Amino acid sequence: MYFTFESRPIAGLLCILLISFSLFCPGHTFAQSEFVNIQRLMIEAYENYTGTGKVLDYGKALKLYKKAAELGDVEAQFIVGGMYFRGLGTEVNIREAFDYLLKAAKRGKYSPKSLAIIGSMYVRGTVIPQNYVESRRWYSIAAEMGNMQAQSELAYMLYHGLGGDRDFKLAEKLFHLAAMQGDIQAQYNIGLMYATGTGVDVDLIKGYAWYSLAASQGNTSAVIARNDLLIDMNWDELNVAQALSVQLYSKIEKNKMVVDELVE
């Protein structure tokens, strides 16, 4: 799941216990009656979303979460954005997803995935005019939180100077982080940097190793680039490069296993 909602009713009850009469939630101040109404909506929405004590009904849950979101609840805004993005209780609606996720993110409620979604929409000009500066802004936060997509996309922007200055050093670091999580395009891109000496010293062994990893997963550009490198490498270098590629492959597979265990 991209978004988790289990903590909503608990968080709401804690707010009620901690604050009296004038009630506050991040970025918004509510009257007591309004706050109680929001909590009622959130609890009922949660029950419908999870099937807790009721028949699971995403459609009803979405309607209730939207009411809470319209009243200014940031948790509800985040959840509604996620439901629109995934098509839970409704058809997939990227525009609605973006609007709600961005509104929540601006008020400090987000996940690495939701930030990556916002960043990707800005960089591609999907449902919002293309804006590289805004894309960098949201990708940067998501990348710091370990999101593979954001790391790879932000690295590409830094490599080409989209939305700001070029930064080959940071681009290489981010490509490497994404590549070690299994991002095929990042594996090709870091291979390209080493093979051409772009922002780093030329290292044909590392270039070949990363190209080989991407090539083994069907990246046709990597297949061509890997084979082209053979012209400039001797047998000793090739043996070392292939051994490095196997080592990287093993580390990446272990990383994937750890991620899978955390998700489960």
State the pLDDT at residue 105. Answer: 98
7-109 and 111-179 share one CATH topology? yes
Taking 70 as the pLDDT cut, the residues of the chain under it are 1-31, 258-264
State the pLDDT at residue 28. Answer: 56
pLDDT in tens, 168-191: 999 999 999 999 999 999 999 999
Domain-wise residue ranges, the chain: 7-109, 111-179, 181-264
State the pLDDT at residue 258. Answer: 64
CA dist 257 and 263 (Å) reads: 10
Q: Is 42 helix (H, G, I), strand (E, B) or coil?
A: helix
- CATH superfamily, domain 7-109, is Tetratricopeptide repeat domain (1.25.40.10)
Three-state SS string over the chain comes to CCCCCCCHHHHHHHHHHHCCCCEEECCEEECHHHHHHHHHHHHHHHHHHHCCCCCCCHHHHHHHHHHHHHCCCHHHHHHHHHHHHHCCCCCCCHHHHHHHHHHHHHCCCCCHHHHHHHHHHHHHCCCCCCCHHHHHHHHHHHHHCCCHHHHHHHHHHHHHCCCCCCCHHHHHHHHHHHHCCCCHHHHHHHHHHHHHCCCCCCCHHHHHHHHHHHHHCCCHHHHHHHHHHHHHCCHHHHHHHHHHHHHHHHHHHHHHHHHHHHHC
State the pLDDT at residue 14. Answer: 30
State the pLDDT at residue 22. Answer: 32
Domain 111-179, architecture per CATH: Alpha Horseshoe (1.25)
